[in-house]
Amino acid sequence: MEEAQRRALRRGRARLVAALRVAPLWEPLEERGLFSRPMLEELQSAGSRGEQARQLLIDLETRGKQAFPIFLSILRDTGQGDLADMLVKECEWLPAPTQLVDLRPVELELRGEKHNKNANFPERLSIPVPAESERPRTPPAPGRGSAVDKRNRNLVYELKADPCGRCLILNNVNFSRASNLSTRVGSNVDCEKLEKRFKALRFDVLTRQDLKAQEMISELQTLAEQDHSALDCCVVVILSHGCQTSHIQFPGGIYGTDGKPIPVETIVNYFNGSHCPSLRGKPKLFFIQACGGEQRDPGFVVDCDSPGDEAPGGSLESDATPFRAPVGNVDEPDAVASLPTPSDILVSYSTFPGFVSWREASRGSWYVETLDSVLEQYARSEDLLNLLLQVANTVSAKEGRYKQIPGCFNFLRKKFFFACK
């Protein structure tokens, strides 16, 4: 199947899952050779009609280069031509990449960024369309029931529950005087964006604001101790000041409003297989807007005409504080050496370890603004790692005296696609 056809199926998945009548499809799918009888019986056992439709669309991507046109034909034959027409339009809108193996991030243009500081959302991707003869040929589909076929179908996390999981947002704005940490003006803008975004992505969102370190730990432990058996994933978002700290697995520390840091690896380990058994085998995603240290990155080319630290559009603030050695029990990392290797975990950082993360008072942080825009535009078609590549590429290209690049520590075993409403 062509990459553009795969992406069309993913962009149209929400509508197809909601409207697709699967019962009339089983017989023609077998007659046209797309699926064998045992494969169809497995699809029919997936659960509700919507769950069967979702699994059918995932499996369809593995059925060879003729799977897409045959599926369109079957849709029209079964009176579902409107869905076929929708897929054709999606496919025409999304040109195939020049190389199937090209995983470089593409540049996102923020609409009117140079002229309108309130522009938030990126335009569509600009990718050259090669001639038909230049497009690489998709290898033939693996034999039905083969090990490769089964492996491909198992390389995507399934998000069938609604809501698909819980999302906890910890937003620290106001810090105690004793902490010597500044008020994080603009963080509420970030928080509101992410609340709306993750609700739209079918998460049950809970927000807590201005928590001391021990209160943050309590909220995280409460979430980890809940029963997630009926859910498919879990998301934790932390917006706060940050710092460098000693670590074994995951770098960085997050400050509570009392100025006491919590190592990121401590936060992550509350949700590993030992401490949170109901999330075993399920993706656990962490998004952290905080500085990784106090280094300011001028980039490869410094704008010598810039008089200060400001970027176009408003004043800049950082979430940086100097490195501090852990003090007190609240700052001590868990005995991570005795814990199992993390799996099904992804930690997305707003900046490279040791460096400053920038935030504007009126628009919020560079990282969250871009993450929200990318999710708005491409969450229906791209897996999480590709989304984060786009975020990194866009943030790193921002103009100004200082630079910033987000990154992630990825221990996911499969591709993760958000379940959009």
Question: How far apart are the C-alpha atoms of 183 and 206, rounded to whole Å?
Answer: 22
Average pLDDT (22-47) is 87
Point out the least confidently predicted range of 10-19, 89-98, 352-361.
89-98
What pLDDT score was predicted for residue 6?
A: 83
Point out the least confidently predicted range of 52-61, 337-346, 394-403.
337-346
CATH superfamily to which 1-97+150-154 belongs: Death Domain, Fas (1.10.533.10)
Residue pair 226/271 in contact (Cβ under 8 Å)? The answer is: no
What pLDDT score was predicted for residue 8?
A: 86
Name the nearest CA neighbour of 53 among 91, 78, 11, 23.
23
178-213 per-position pLDDT tens digit: 988 889 988 999 999 999 999 999 999 999 999 999
Model confidence at 144: pLDDT above 70: no
Question: How far apart are the C-alpha atoms of 245 and 323, rounded to whole Å?
Answer: 6
For the chain, the structural domain boundaries read 1-97+150-154, 165-411
209-218 per-position pLDDT tens digit: 999 999 999 9
Model confidence at 395: pLDDT above 80: yes
What pLDDT score was predicted for residue 134?
A: 43
CATH of 165-411, one of 3.40.50.300, 3.40.50.1460, 3.50.50.60, 3.60.70.12: 3.40.50.1460
Q: Active-site residue numbers?
A: 241, 291
Residue 92: how many other CB atoms lie within 10 Å? 10
Question: How far apart are the C-alpha atoms of 249 and 230, rounded to whole Å?
Answer: 29
What rounded mean pLDDT belongs to the chain? 77
What pLDDT score was predicted for residue 360?
A: 81
Q: Of residues 150 and 234, which shows the higher confidence score?
A: 234
What pLDDT score was predicted for residue 51?
A: 84
What pLDDT score was predicted for residue 135?
A: 42
What pLDDT score was predicted for residue 333?
A: 35
